[in-house]
Amino acid sequence: MYRNSVVAGADTPREGVEHPDHRVEFLLSPGDIQAVRFGISPGHELAHAVRVLLRPAQHPLQWGWLRAVRDRLPRESFRLLAVVVGDDGYLPDFFTTAPAWDMTPETELSALRSAPLDPLRVDLGKMVIRSTGARRRALRDMQQQPERARAMIADAWSEMWDAALAPVWPQLDRLLRADIAVRSRVIATSGIREMAGGLHPKVTWGDGAVRVSLRRHSEVVDCHGSGLVLVPSVMSTWGCMVLTEPPAQPTLFYPARGVTAGWSRDAAEISGALGALLGPARAGILLGAGTSRTTSQVAQDAGIAVSTASHHLTVLRDAGLISSERDGARMLHLRTPLGEAMVGAAL
C-alpha cells in the first residue's frame, strides 16, 4: 500500500516546504520491475503549457512556442485553467487520466468530461488549501458546484488545447515517442537500472527502488505489483513530478531528451536543417525513422526506388544513425540514440 514514511523531527523536511532532502521512493518488487512501462499524457503537457504561460521567464526552451501562441489564446479559458492548475506545485489529479502509449488528446478530454465528482471535489479542496485571495475563492466556488466546474474546466481544456498545443502536437508527440524509443532500447541493451539512472539527475535507482528528489514532498510508495509508469514531458523541462495517490498507478514524469528552443518548428524546417548536413533524401529518411519501417516503406514515404532507399539506409547505418534488424523476410529500420541526438540538435 501507499504510505508516507517520513517521521517528524528537527531536521526532517516539512511537507509543502522546500527542502533539499525531500524525495519520493518507489519500492519495486521483481514483478514491479517487469511492469515498468512508458506512457504519454497530453493533459500533463497542457497543464505545464499553462504554467509556462504564467511564468515564461523560467522556461526559455519554450520561448519559440510562446511567441507563436501568445496572441491566439482564448483568454477566458486560459484564466480558468490558470486558477485550476496554478503556476507551480501540486497539480490536481483529475486534470489528467492514466498515461498510456496510445493516449490521445481526445481520449484525455473525454476522461476529464466524465471524471468522478467526489475525487474532483477532493482535488479542488487541496487546491483551496494551497491558494489565497481571489484564486481561493474561485476554487472554493468550483468545489461547491463540482458538476458545473467539471464542464467548465473541460470546455476550457478543449479551447486551450486547440489554440496552444494542437498546432504543435505532431512535433511534441514526435519528441515524446523518440524519447521513449531511446529509453526502451537502453532497457533492451543495458537493463532498467541503466535506463532509470539516465532519466534525470534527480532520479536514482538502487536497492529495489527508484528515488526522485523533489522540492516539497517526501513519501515512500510501495508499488505492490502495479509497476511504475514513466512519462516524458516536453513542456515540463525543469524537473520531475510524481503521481502517487490511489487509484492512480504510481507515475513518474520526467523531462524528455532532445528538447531545445526550436522544438516547435514544423517538419519542413527540421528537414531543411538536417538536409543541409545529410542531404534532403537522407534527412527525410532519418526524420521518419522514429518508428520502425521496412525498406519498401522507407522508399514509398520518400518517393524513391527501393534500391536507392537501401543505399541511403546503408549510409545512415554505417554512420551509426539508424539500426536495422531482420523480422522474418523484412528488414526494419529505426533511429539509434545517436540518430535521436542528431534530430534533437536540429530541433
Q: What is the pLDDT along the chain (347 residues), one digit of tens a residue?
A: 333 333 344 467 777 788 888 888 888 887 666 778 899 999 999 999 999 999 999 899 898 899 889 889 999 999 999 999 999 888 899 999 889 988 999 999 999 999 999 999 999 999 999 999 999 999 999 999 999 999 999 999 999 999 999 999 988 888 888 888 888 878 888 888 888 888 888 898 888 888 888 888 888 888 877 888 999 999 988 788 898 887 788 999 999 887 777 776 665 665 565 666 678 888 888 888 877 899 999 999 989 999 999 989 988 888 778 888 888 888 899 887 667 766 765 54
Give me the residue label for grid cell 523484412.
330
pLDDT for position 267: 57
Q: Which of 256, 77, 40, 179 is nearest to 69 (CA)?
A: 77
Report the pLDDT value the prediction gives residue 135, as an integer from 0 to 100: 96
Q: Are 228 and 9 in contact (CB under 8 A)?
A: no
- pLDDT at res. 5: 38
Question: CB neighbours of 240 closer than 8 A, spacing ≥ 6?
Answer: 199, 200, 202, 203, 212, 213, 214, 252, 253, 254, 255
pLDDT at 7: 39
- Give 114's contacts (C-beta < 8 A, 6+ positions apart): none
pLDDT value, residue 208: 81
Say if residues 301 and 293 touch (Cβ distance below 8 Å).
yes
- Whether the bond between 74 and the residue before it is cis, its omega within 30 degrees of 0, is no
Let me know: does 110 contact 103? Beta carbons within 8 Å: no
Sequence-distant (6+) residues with CB within 8 A of 78 are 50, 53, 156, 160
pLDDT given at position 184: 84
How many whole angstroms separate alpha carbon 52 and alpha carbon 344?
21
Q: Are 234 and 176 in contact (CB under 8 A)?
A: yes
What's the confidence (pLDDT) of residue 196?
A: 81
CA gap 309, 250 in Å, rounded: 43
Cell numbers describing residue 8: 517528524
User: Based on the number of CB atoms within 10 Å of its own CB, is 319 exposed (0-12), middle (13-18) or buried (19 or more)?
Assistant: middle
